């Protein structure tokens, strides 16, 4: 049976108290700056109280470049253990200028105890980086799930992972970005099934934009995606994702969790 997790990027706007701009990178920077044991413990407490047993740690909450010194990483691991939250992935974007930039994030993820790096890639061609990522993942015994954002077809997604030829490289399917870009998320799940490492379950209110909402309240066929993967005996993780800039996502996330649990039956 698939797991259900909470991706901590749902709290993208928490550091600015939901009063910041509609700008992801501004909130990313604010979250990195606000990182502390107290801040992460408050996040973990809310996640556990909502009924989650698994968490995907957003890079901004524990960053390989900004939080690598000292014992912060170990503190984050301890907080997750304290709240009985298993770490199911390390989620965020990769921005390598060359293959040499890939070692640090995957090594940090390994130390964090996450088995999968789930995120997109900017600043370099993912297909060109794939052989290097494969070698790193083989050595560290981890995996990389490429997350779709601008891609407008399954073919484009597959091209970014070298056509699926690498055993340690697969897809972190973002159903919300499927909806935004006009991709049928159910068909995408079917066609990518054998390379589907993790699924970011996200719903959006309309195609062409990326205004997220509770799962089942938007245009994406979330229930059909979940039911198909359950019926096909897929054993990955469904990460519930909803990232509003102007309000606390947790009420909608709780609603989404209740619905996903129902769809899993």
Across 111-117, average pLDDT: 98
Q: What separation in angstroms does the CA of 142 have from each of 47, 72, 105, 168, 215?
A: 25, 22, 12, 7, 29
Across all residues in the chain, what is the average pLDDT?
98
What percent of the chain is predicted at pLDDT more than 90?
A: 99
Q: Are 216 and 223 in contact (CB under 8 A)?
A: yes
Count CB neighbours of 51 within 10 A.
13
| Distance between CA atoms of residues 234 and 227, nearest Å | 10
State residue 259's pLDDT score: 98
Please tell me the predicted confidence (pLDDT) of residue 162: 97
* pLDDT tens-digit series, residues 203-222: 999 999 999 999 999 999 99
Alpha-helical (H) ranges within the chain are: 24-34, 37-49, 72-82, 103-112, 126-140, 154-160, 175-181, 185-192, 222-231, 250-264
Say how many CA atoms lie within 13 Å of 168 toward its Cβ.
20
pLDDT digits (tens, 9 = 90+) for 28-69: 999 999 999 999 999 999 999 999 999 999 999 999 999 999
- Per-residue pLDDT, averaged over 180-191, amounts to 98
| Separation between Cα atoms, residue 115 and residue 3, nearest integer Å | 14
Written as six digits, the tokens of 112 are 């964090």
Average pLDDT over residues 112-123: 97
- Percent of the chain surpassing pLDDT 70: 100
* pLDDT at 174 (0 to 100): 98
d(C-alpha 4, C-alpha 261), whole Å: 8
The model's pLDDT over 156-180, given as tens digits with 9 standing for 90+, comes to: 999 999 999 999 999 999 999 999 9
Q: How far apart are CA 53 and CA 79, in angstroms?
A: 13
Confidence (pLDDT) at 6:
99
């Amino acid at each position: 049976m698939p797991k259900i997790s909470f991706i901590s990027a749902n709290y993208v706007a928490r550091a600015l108290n939901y009063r910041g701009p509609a700008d992801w990178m501004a909130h990313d920077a604010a979250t990195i700056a606000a990182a502390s044991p107290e801040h992460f413990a408050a996040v973990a407490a809310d996640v556990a109280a909502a009924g989650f047993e698994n968490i995907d740690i957003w890079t901004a909450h524990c960053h390989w470049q900004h939080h690598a010194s000292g014992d912060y990483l170990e503190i984050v691991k301890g907080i997750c253990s304290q709240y009985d939250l298993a770490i199911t992935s390390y989620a965020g974007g990769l921005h390598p200028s060359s293959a040499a930039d890939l070692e640090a994030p995957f090594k940090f993820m390994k130390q964090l105890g996450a088995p999968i790096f789930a995120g997109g890639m900017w600043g370099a061609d993912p297909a060109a980086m794939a052989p290097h990522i494969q070698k790193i993942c083989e050595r560290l015994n981890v995996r990389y799930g490429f997350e779709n954002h601008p891609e407008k077809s399954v073919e484009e997604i597959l091209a970014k992972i070298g056509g699926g030829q690498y055993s340690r490289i697969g897809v972190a399917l973002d159903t919300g970005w499927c909806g935004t870009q006009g991709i049928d998320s159910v068909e995408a799940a079917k066609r990518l099934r054998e390379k589907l490492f993790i699924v970011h379950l996200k719903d959006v209110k309309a195609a062409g934009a990326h205004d997220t909402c509770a799962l089942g309240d938007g245009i994406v066929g979330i229930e059909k995606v979940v039911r198909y993967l359950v019926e096909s005996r897929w054993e990955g993780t469904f990460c519930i994702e909803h990232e509003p800039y102007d309000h606390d996502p947790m009420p909608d996330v709780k609603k989404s969790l209740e619905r996903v649990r129902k769809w899993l039956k």
